[in-house]
Amino acid sequence: MLGDTVLRERMVRELVEARGVTDARVLAAMREVPRHLFVRDLLMTQAYGNHALPIGGAQTISQPYVVAKMTEMLDVGPEHKVLEIGTGSGYQTAILARLARWVYSLERLPDLAHQAIRRMRQLGVLNVKIQAFDGTVGWSEVAPFDRILVTAGAPRVPKPLLEQLAARGKLVIPEGDRHRQRLVVYERIAGRVRRLEGEEVAFVPLVGRHGWDPPEGERE
């Protein structure tokens, strides 16, 4: 495989910058995080392509442009405490960790959560805490959060997440049906919540108490 530094630079230039992501801090983070370490060994040669990839448990690592776009929409500052819903492989988590003061991440599938924790340790990422839990109820013990990012498609924004959003906070979430959604930004301003819709995307369903029902095989 061509050197991963070269591949990361090409990925950012061709798949991210060329499609309109301009935030310099986001682009720098995308250049720094080795995406191939967050995919299965069998798929390493595809790690820097313009596509989502399976990571197990019927979950995926999102395509690079979508990761960058959602991160840019979230507008993360170095002083911010961020909640991520849907750790997955941990790639988006590692991007956020380079931008925020602290990242809390929830993943409903324990195997994925444990793998992501190992990757954070491997990369020396120290400002992240990951737990296996239903992300749709949030993380009330450490709320409120300056920023909240949901990386799975929801029928609507979970109420607990809005309740855990700090004043002047932002929340980015894909909203729609199980197959197609739109990126939506919620922003808490002067005690009110403003909602703005963005572009169309396709994410795996957000499963949980305030999301979609689990697949048939996981139901009791």
Measured CA to CA, the distance from residue 101 to residue 134 in angstroms comes to: 23
Beta bridge partners of 145: 165
Active-site residue (options: 62, 89, 105, 140): 62
Instruction: Give a yes or no: residue 211 inside a domain.
Output: no
What are the tokens at 108? 């409903």
84 closest CA partner among 125, 49, 45? 125
**In the chain, how many domains are there?**
1
Instruction: Give a yes or no: residue 112 inside a domain.
Output: yes
Does 62 participate in catalysis according to the annotation? yes
Measured CA to CA, the distance from residue 43 to residue 41 in angstroms comes to: 5
**How much is the pLDDT for 190?**
86
Q: State which residues form the domain around 134.
A: 4-206
Instruction: Give a yes or no: residue 215 inside a domain.
Output: no
Type of residue at 146? D
Instruction: Give a yes or no: residue 216 inside a domain.
Output: no
Give the number of C-alpha atoms closer than 13 A to the C-alpha of residue 72, restricted to the C-beta side: 19
The pLDDT profile of the chain, 220 residues, written as one tens digit per residue, is 457 899 999 999 998 999 999 999 999 999 999 999 999 999 999 999 989 999 999 999 999 999 999 999 999 999 999 999 999 999 999 999 999 999 999 999 999 999 999 999 999 999 999 999 999 999 999 999 999 999 999 999 999 999 999 999 999 999 999 999 999 999 999 889 999 999 999 999 999 999 999 876 665 4
A 10 A CB-CB count for 13 gives 12
CA 201 to chain centre: 13
**How much is the pLDDT for 153?**
98
Instruction: Give a yes or no: residue 145 inside a domain.
Output: yes
Instruction: Give a yes or no: residue 135 inside a domain.
Output: yes
The pTM for the full model equals 0.95
**How much is the pLDDT for 71?**
98
Asked whether the CA dihedral 216, 149, 128, 19 is positive or negative, the reply is positive
**How much is the pLDDT for 25?**
97
Instruction: Kindly report the backbone phi and psi dihedral angles of residue 49, in degrees, each rounded to the nearest multiple of 5, phi listed first.
Output: -85, 170
Cα torsion 56, 158, 185, 78 to 10°: value is -70
Instruction: Give a yes or no: residue 213 inside a domain.
Output: no
Instruction: Give a yes or no: residue 217 inside a domain.
Output: no
What CATH number has the domain bearing residue 79? 3.40.50.150
What are the tokens at 21? 């992501």
